[in-house]
Amino acid sequence: MDLFKDIIYSITTSGENLLTSENEKEYKSYVVNMAMSMQPDCLLFGNEMNINHHIDNKLQYDYLLNTIRKYKRPHFWAKRKKNDTKDNIDVIIEYYECGKDQAKDILNLLTDDQLEDIIRTIQKGGLNNG
Domain boundaries along the sequence of the chain: 3-67, 86-129
Q: What whole-number distance in Å separates Cα of residue 55 and Cα of residue 74?
A: 29
pLDDT score of 83: 55
pLDDT score of 123: 83
pLDDT score of 94: 92
pLDDT score of 76: 62
pLDDT score of 87: 86
pLDDT score of 84: 61
Q: What is the mean pLDDT of each run of 10 residues along the chain (130 residues)?
A: 84 92 89 90 93 94 95 72 75 92 89 89 70
pLDDT score of 79: 61
pLDDT score of 124: 76
28: left (phi over 0), alpha (psi -120 to 50) or beta: beta
Listed residue (52, 6, 10, 9) closest to 29, CA to CA: 52
Which of helix, strand or coil describes residue 70?
Answer: coil
Q: What whole-number distance in Å separates Cα of residue 46 and Cα of residue 10?
A: 15
